[in-house]
Amino acid sequence: DFCRRLDSIVGPQLTVLASDICEQFNINKRMSGSEKEPQFKFIYFNHMNLAEKSTVHMRKTPSVSLTSVHPDLMKILGDINSDFSRVDEDEEIIVKAMSDYWVVGKKSDRRELYVILNQKMQT
């Protein structure tokens, strides 16, 4: 009963957060054009209804999935996902990559949100 109440509060907020991130990404993409890398990229997945939103995947076919992030960051995303799959509790993991990127994973109920933040200094 507690989990259902918690899901009814947190679940919709996490869905709204993923939509807001996607909207901000699209606004920043239009404003900055293609000359500047976006400040963040994300993947959102809802296990209950299989909803997926991503700014990481550029093209996806049955045989090929192209991503717009470095393979080291994809490995970190995979490691976080692996950690999430080992436990049933909700959790959050934050990782600082060697390349000045931050990778954040948040699991809430059966929803997962991964965000890659670019914190490189612009010169």
pLDDT score of 122: 45
Query: Sorting pLDDT into bands at 50, 70 and 90, what band is 119?
Result: low
Give per-residue pLDDT as tens, 6-58: 888 888 888 888 888 888 777 776 665 545 555 789 999 999 999 989 888 76
Give first-to-last CA distance, the chain, whole Å: 52
C-alpha pair distances (Å), 92 with each of 70, 103, 115: 22, 11, 11
